[in-house]
Structure 1
Amino acid sequence: MNHFQRRKGQLCCEEVPLSELAEEVGTPAYVYSTATLLRHARVFRAALRGLDVLACFAVKSAPNLALLVLLARDGFGFDIVSGGELFRALQARGDPAKIVFSGVGKREDEMEAALEAGIFQFNCESEEELEQLSRVAARRNRVAPVALRVNPEVDARTHPHIATALASSKFGVPAARVRRTYRLAASLPGIRAVGVACHIGSQIGSVKPFSEAAAKMRALVLELRSDGHDIRRLDMGGGLGVPYGDGPKPPSPREYGEALVRALRGVDVKVLVEPGRVLVANAGVLLTRVLLRKQGHGSRRFVVVDAGMNDLLRPALYQAHHALEPVARPRRGAEVVDVVGPVCESADVLAPRRRLPPLQTGDLVVLRTAGAYGMAMASQYNARPRPPEVLVDGRSWRVIRARESYKDLIRGESP
């Protein structure tokens, strides 16, 4: 459920008409619903009540400080993959004791900052990374809590760019090397080996890959314990998908939680999960305006809007489908059009061959399910300032990131 609904024919975010926001802040703009985000957060946590769980929001999916503050207040930790994300999490008053540092490559200064902050856990992915972290920790007279990220070789059946547990993946330690690598972790100074981790992919549309990964990780925990290791934590990563409107409905948080509980019951570990998209995707939309219509070759019709692939990269990068609808009451009838942006790339197609109510120049439209990996992946390509972000709470709203100016485009540059 989300709180983007029609009132008297007009699409609103909670109690605020999106047309009002367009008038005040302009377009394009990202708009988020507080009620939707918090509802999704609570439903997700409730689905995992059968486990001893630490839920860490994946900062990469939606790193705005205001959104992070909401989740920190609601009890979430944070999953980070860079020093910049650590900075954001701390600025959002996140509890360092609930921060997990993931990622295949961490710089020494990032390791040092995380050690100084006192984070919950480093997820390490190679022998060389373990040795590097050991040196950094010893130099700082610290002990780094470490989980070894494993590649369980589970096909998540998702887009190749976001499948992270295939045999060809750069992520995780191959299964054949896990026991040897864990022995190394347990022997290194400055390292406290506490568990194992995995993350099989993103936008996963079935329970089966999660069940398969959890079963493999359960077996690994028991195997490492039989080797004499004290395995206290199991990080199952994230990846639960959301409905974008063009395919099968992904499993619900309840179905996901039931699968994990079944697979991990009786193992006696602290279970970590790293939700991102499932919490924030449906909590945000990209609000944009039709610039013009254009007749293409033959019967091809284009609707050009003021948002482009620099604002929402997912359709170009992943061929992702985002439901699109007018803000005003839809006109009668329908036509098949390509909704495109103004960026000088043929890939700048936000909604190809989409059957929509007739759209005219000046109309406001929204791209749904844009809260995750939307603004997070936005760029200044074509020297286009990035859009603002707006957070709605009931009848009130505020700008949580200002629209960039042309001066922002050259900030830090020297002629």
Structure 2
Amino acid sequence: MAGSGKTTFMQRLVSHLYTHPDPTQSEPSVSKVAPTPPYIINLDPAVHHVPFTPNIDIRDSVNYKEVMKQFNLGPNGGILTSLNLFSTKIDQVIGLLEKRTQPPAPVKEPEQTTVEFMTNSGKEKQPAPVQQQQVKHILVDTPGQIEVFVWSASGEILLSSLASTFPTVIAYIIDTPRTTSTSTFMSNMLYACSILYKTKLPMILVFNKTDAQDAQFAKDWMTDFEAFQTALRNEEEGGSFGGEGAGGGSGYMGSLLNSMSLVLEEFYKHLSVVGVSAMTGDGMDDFFRGVNEKAEEFERDYKPELERRRAEREQEKQATRQRELDKLMKDMKVGGAGNKPTPRRKRDDPETVSDAEDAADDDQDEDLDYEDELDSDDPEQGLQQRYRDTIREHSTNKQDDDMSFARYVQAAKFH
């Protein structure tokens, strides 16, 4: 949430990965392997300064203030529009991440030329070209407005693109000193529940600022229902329900929180909970151990589900294309039985003179329609048939004219 210390937590993550070859260890271990620097992405367009150097920064692509001015938007609308504009380049971002996460290609040593070998100038060892290290951790800093990022089309595009390519884990940062009351604690849990079921990705609850307030009470409330009930009862009796200065609250709030704690008991089983201090770095090893567990859970449980949903979407697209094709073929009458002429209907005997005249007109119309259908089935065959009929008609008329002239000449000789 906003103000929970996300940016400071990101700074501590970066520092921990730069100084610890094994991030799951609390103390820097002596190792011959150099620590692998993370790949950092900043998706908050409204931040003025970040205490780390991002590899990809949304502020380099989108000017947040210009977006607000050009589209006449407020702060949240400007953030949402900036994310929408940035999401159009997600394919380029994924391409860069795929290149950096691949193992580096082996570098061939330069061969000595004949001149270098003869002049002994090649004895001096040339420095090997510097290789980029393979990235093992990708850190993404998101805006603090949850609804802007999670419940928007651009946020879904960014998350689904990352999850379809890399094991993705969501860290929900909670301000521990502001979560000591049962009402604010339950509000945070509802937020986390909505994010979990909206994104369908593994999640870790990070109770930040443990240097100011220990997070053990929150872990007890999540694992022990009776402990939460006791804390809720104490707040109602002491008149501090809802936090300091909030008064005793109303009666329905107590019953609502009581019911919600029962409902979310199953939800707590799918979460990993860690307490960290972004200021001192305490608990960062526990956080990375939780990340490794959630990455394995992603490969085991979430990745097959993502592949199944992707296959369903492809099947739906194929079915939609097939329906459109069938509709087009039907409109063009390209089907098997659609191009046959309609057989003539057998009519009943007319009972009156008017019925007989109408039937004769209908028969004539049907004959014309039937001939048109025959011609429409095979245009070339219909054209040939009309050509033959025309030739036959003209040849018959010519023979009749010749016979009439012959009879006239014969009659003239006899007279």
TM-score (structure 2 length as normaliser)? 0.28
Larger Rg: 2
Higher helix share: 2
| Structure ranking higher on relative contact order (CA contacts 8 Å, 6+ apart) | 1
TM-score (structure 1 length as normaliser)? 0.28
Higher strand share: 1
